[in-house]
Structure 1
Amino acid sequence: MIYLTRVENFNAAHKLSNPAWSDEKNEAVFGKCANVNWHGHNYELHVTIKGNPDPDTGFVFNAKILGEIIKNEVIEKIDHRNLNMDVAFMAGKFTSAENLAIGIWDQLAPHLPASVQLHSIKLYETPRIYVEYFGTHSGL
């Protein structure tokens, strides 16, 4: 089994707040991330797929085509957008990095060929904070 990772970048804004909580509690829990005027991140996205090399090409999957799938199904929908307001696949969901990684997985998985499997989504929110998702969740 070979693992292939494609790295992409995007910028997006969001706000973390629980509407059932007071402004004070949201600020206590989420800090600057609960800013009423939003805040943004320069995200780094690592998409890892796995499979066996094709005997004719030596590729698990063509990295250029993987990049096009990521661009079409994810980047075009979230780059320079407000995750809370502009991104259909995040509608009604808490826009944490964790939930965003799950949403990205759900966007990509149906568009990959049967010859490979999506292995993981690694999403860096900052250079020091990232989440990894391996495809098992019980709803958002």
Structure 2
Amino acid sequence: MIYITRRERFSSAHKLFRQEWSNEENLEVFGKCSNPNWHGHNYELFVTVKGEINPETGFVIDLKVLKQIILTYVTDKLDHKNVNLDVDFMKDKMASTEVLAVEIFNQLKPHVEALGAQLHKIKLCETENNYVEYFGE
């Protein structure tokens, strides 16, 4: 078993808030991340797949194909978009980095598996100090 990782980047705006809460409650729980005017991040996304090396190609997965899957199903939908308003797979979900990582995993998993590899991990960096990792568990 070998692991290989592809990095992509995207910039998105979002805010953390619960519609059923008052602005004061949202501010108390989410702080400035609940700003009614949104805020943005330059995200780094690391997609790690695992599998056996194909003896004919020497690949677990063709990284050009993996890049296209990530672009089509994730970064093209997120880049320069509002996560709360514009992203189909985030509709009616909290736009936290944790939830976003889970939903990115869910978007990519069937496409990676269709190529004979396994999606091992999503690492999503929101800032240079904050990131999440999701292993599909």
Q: Could you tell me the TM-score, scaled by structure 1's length?
A: 0.94
Counterpart of 2:124 in structure 1 is: 123
Q: Aligned partners of 1:16, 1:73: CA distance in 2, in Å?
A: 23
AA matched with 1:62 = D
AA matched with 1:32 = K
AA matched with 2:123 = K
Q: Aligned partners of 1:19, 1:55: CA distance in 2, in Å?
A: 53
Counterpart of 1:51 in structure 2 is: 51
1:57 Cα deviation from its structure 2 partner = 1.3
Q: Give SS of 1:84's match.
A: helix
1:84-105 per-position Cα deviation (integer Å, ceiling 9, x unaligned): 0000100010010011011101
Q: Aligned partners of 2:108, 2:49: CA distance in 1, in Å?
A: 11
Q: Aligned partners of 1:59, 1:33: CA distance in 2, in Å?
A: 41
1:96-127 per-position Cα deviation (integer Å, ceiling 9, x unaligned): 00110111011111112252100000000001
Counterpart of 1:70 in structure 2 is: 70
Q: Aligned partners of 1:25, 1:131: CA distance in 2, in Å?
A: 25
Q: Give SS of 2:5's match.
A: strand
AA matched with 2:59 = F
Q: Aligned partners of 1:29, 1:43: CA distance in 2, in Å?
A: 23
Paired residues of 2:61 and 2:115 also in contact (CA < 8 A)? no
Counterpart of 2:100 in structure 1 is: 100
Alignment length, in residue pairs? 136
Q: Aligned partners of 1:61, 1:14: CA distance in 2, in Å?
A: 32
Q: Aligned partners of 2:117, 2:57: CA distance in 1, in Å?
A: 14
Q: Give SS of 1:95's match.
A: coil
Unaligned runs of 5+ in 2: none
* Percent pairwise identity: 57
Q: Give SS of 1:111's match.
A: helix
Q: Aligned partners of 2:57, 2:93: CA distance in 1, in Å?
A: 41
Query: 4+ residue stretches of structure 1 with deviation over 2 A?
Result: none
**What RMSD over aligned residues (CA atoms) do the two structures have, in Å?**
0.9
Unaligned runs of 5+ in 1: none
Counterpart of 1:79 in structure 2 is: 79
Q: Aligned partners of 1:114, 1:107: CA distance in 2, in Å?
A: 14
Counterpart of 1:27 in structure 2 is: 27
Q: Aligned partners of 2:89, 2:55: CA distance in 1, in Å?
A: 37
Q: Give SS of 1:108's match.
A: helix
